[in-house]
Amino acid sequence: MIQDDYGGQVLLTQEELKLLVDKYGQIQEVLEKKNHQES
């Protein structure tokens, strides 16, 4: 179960969690680029 700052919740399967962990580096790169563009 993942909960965001606004109380929204998502229940992930083990497979979905593994995909999220495996893709964490790529997700961070996208977020960093987005934050840099907004600055």
pLDDT of residue 27: 86
1-39 tens-digit pLDDT: 889 999 999 999 999 999 989 988 888 888 888 888 887
Q: How far apart are CA 35 and CA 22, in angstroms?
A: 22
pTM, full prediction: 0.53
Helix, strand or coil, per DSSP, at residue 3: strand
pLDDT of residue 13: 95
Asked if 11 and 1 touch (Cβ cutoff 8 Å), the reply is yes
Domain range list for the chain: 12-38
